[in-house]
Structure 1
Amino acid sequence: MGFEEDWRDLTAGTDPTLDIGIAVGGVDGDVWTGGRDLLFPACSISKHVAAFGALRLVADTTIDLDADVNTYLSSWQLPGTGTVTVRQVLAHTAGLTENWFPGYAVGEPVPSLLQILAGAPPANTPAVRRELLPGSEFRYSGSHYALLQQLLTDVTATPFDELMAALVLEPVGMADSSFDQHFPNEHQERAARGHANGAAVPGGWHTQPEMAGAGLWSTPLDLVRLELEITRAHAGDSALLPPDLATQMLERQSPGGFGLGTEIGDGRFGHTGQNTGYSCFAFAWPASGTAVAAMTNAEDCRDTLFALIEIAQRHFG
């Protein structure tokens, strides 16, 4: 039985309100997609995309992986003493406040990123601060990528959504993707409506001003395109990212931790994600030159996604 048959067997008879989009692609150009052609929040896969963009700025020496983040931040400074580096921020080893960003429902006031960093109203999460000794351990937190978003915006003097479009989305060919939080409103006919705890998310979805950590809208096919570009970069076949930086992106930066914006394991790399009302994953298996991405409009269907990852591991790992 092939991957497509396993996918259909797994998803047959699922809740009719659940939309699951999936894409499988190879470096040889072969592509297969399943499910409706919808746009979904990429949730924490946004971090993986933002990391690729940040590494492109490292490649052109705009920023240095091992420099103190406060040397680049001009509109806000990370409080406290000691050095926090760009590398630590990308790898979740800077020891910052442990935050998951639920976003802001339709009708709620949406804070600026500076309000989010300061934990000031109407932000619904604590301030971004140093809590652990930088570099001492892996601690997954959206705070790292809120800081990264401000850093990249300050350094380039470019709105984050426009910066990522120029650095990642356009050159990789991710034509159905955007960090612009107005994007789903402009494509209402294709935007998947989220579900949490068995109920529809009021208004369809939340706004995520923490774009680098959770704000990308995309499709499974676009996410596959990114994973294959990283696969090519690691092999030295990409014009977008040199192989030494791609290698660092795919190497654990601490025991049991991530690479640079990348989950590592079982011969694969990529990222998983969960926002209010949605969950997803995108992984590549370099040995077979294959990438798989799945996106859903339900927050509580991770068992299905993990089963899909296992199916992909069996076929492509």
Structure 2
Amino acid sequence: MAKFITIAMLLSHTSGLETSGTQGFPGYDVSRNANGHFRAALPDLGEALEGSWPSNTLPIRLKDWPGHVFKYSGGGYGVLQLIIEAVMGQPFAEVMQEYVFTALNMKRSTYAVPDDEDLNTEKQQGKDNYARAYYNGYTACEAPHRMNPEQSAAGLWTTPTDLLLLVSAIQKSLHEENAFVPQHLAKQMLEQVTAGMAHGWRVTKTHFTHSGSNMPGWRCNVMASFDGNEAFCFMTNSAEGFLIGCKVQAAMSYLIGWKKAEEFTYIRSCVVPFADVSAVPPDAAVMEKWTGMWKERGTQFQVQLMAKEGVPWLKVGQMPEQWLWIAAHGEEESKNGRRVVADLVCRGGMEVLVRILESENGEALMEMWNGNTGEVMVMERVS
């Protein structure tokens, strides 16, 4: 069955190969203890894919028909690494250095395993060092970083600047001949294979994106537009960094004036954006159409949207009302034929966004995004 797996399937996570268990590739703490001994043994890639000692993951096995459905598979990218090394006759890190990083002047990117002295510590900060991992904004993880023999899936060390050099080269390749990647290959790479997934990249009609999540504490994302006009990257060295990164990504789109990148992570996950406390909300005459009681469809949960002295407020039961501000995320003029009038977020820190919309025939509509559950609630007018 495995002979039916293609390179395209491995790239698009449709090969049927499983990932390496619930934790993906968690990496190995190979820092030294007080006695100078390594804390863990580091397997080679073959041992990691086989799940044999000293690996900390399950064996990679074929679990579905090749080409059937999307299922993230870091193991599939491990197989790709073996193929590249066999074809090129070089270690994967050297291939990437020669054909990608050097070619694109990505001076701070590598797949090579960093040495201990290259790592940041609390007392050693510098441009040539790596950021250590944190649980939150101030508590460092026990291991400053982990090492991954599964380099292609989990071993990239880079910076936002370097990643933007990469996506810029891809953008140019889409529109220019003789760019970094042949134009036909660039277009093929970003063709959707299954819902939202291309070859190595997630895609929408307008953008391509890739996120990164490494244990014990790094969360990252890069996105770029097909037209070549937009690109943005955030990288955090915190296990809790993805939420704040998505909020920053949304705010950057808002401040620069980009259209909202449809169906990206911060929308799909209902990450509630920051508030723009300087923006003027819709005036009372506009808000009047939406003021009143609204009920969540299918439940008895009700909210009251009101306007006081020209400022919109949201009230739930007998609890204190919440002041609403304009949401700081990219512009979105319509959604499924409905006009988006305003997106409003609570001033008090509640992870809730109120979206007021207008149907094609002028009917007032409302949604509520719940950042706690990640759900979009359709609201129905009560009074």
TM-score (normalised: structure 1): 0.70
Change in CA separation of 1:274 and 1:197 when aligned onto 2, cut-off 3 Å: same
Q: Indicate the residue corresponding to 1:259 in structure 2.
A: 198
TM-score (normalised: structure 2): 0.59
Matched-pair contact (CA < 8 Å) for 1:249–1:259: yes
Matched-pair contact (CA < 8 Å) for 1:87–1:260: yes
Between the aligned partners of 1:238 and 1:269, the Cα distance in structure 2 is 21
Runs (4+) off by over 4 Å: none
Aligned-pair CA distance for 1:82: 4.6
Between the aligned partners of 2:253 and 2:74, the Cα distance in structure 1 is 27
Between the aligned partners of 2:248 and 2:177, the Cα distance in structure 1 is 29
Return the match for 1:286 from 221, 226, 246.
226
Tell whether 2:196 aligns with 1:272: no
Change in CA separation of 1:183 and 1:164 when aligned onto 2, cut-off 3 Å: farther
Q: Indicate the residue corresponding to 1:98 in structure 2.
A: 19
- Cα RMSD, aligned residues only: 1.9
**Residue identity matched to 1:98:** T
Return the match for 2:241 from 286, 301, 304.
301
Aligned-pair CA distance for 1:264: 1.0
Q: Indicate the residue corresponding to 1:250 in structure 2.
A: 190
More strand as a share of residues: 2
Task: Say which structure, 1 or 2, has more relative contact order (CA 8 Å, 6+ apart).
Answer: 1
Return the match for 2:7 from 73, 82, 86.
86
Return the match for 1:172 from 104, 115, 120.
104
**3-state secondary structure, aligned to 1:136:** coil
Aligned-pair CA distance for 1:287: 3.0
Between the aligned partners of 1:175 and 1:81, the Cα distance in structure 2 is 38
Between the aligned partners of 2:231 and 2:178, the Cα distance in structure 1 is 16
More helix as a share of residues: 1
Matched-pair contact (CA < 8 Å) for 1:288–1:316: no
Q: Indicate the residue corresponding to 2:50 in structure 1.
A: 118
Structure 2 unaligned regions, length at least 5: 32-38, 121-125, 260-383
Q: How many residues align?
A: 237
Structure 1 unaligned regions, length at least 5: 1-79
Which structure would you say has the larger Rg?
A: 2
Between the aligned partners of 2:200 and 2:27, the Cα distance in structure 1 is 20
Aligned-pair CA distance for 1:311: 2.7
Return the match for 2:153 from 191, 201, 213.
213
Between the aligned partners of 1:81 and 1:192, the Cα distance in structure 2 is 39
Between the aligned partners of 1:304 and 1:266, the Cα distance in structure 2 is 25
Moved more, 276-285 or 198-207: 198-207
Between the aligned partners of 1:81 and 1:251, the Cα distance in structure 2 is 24
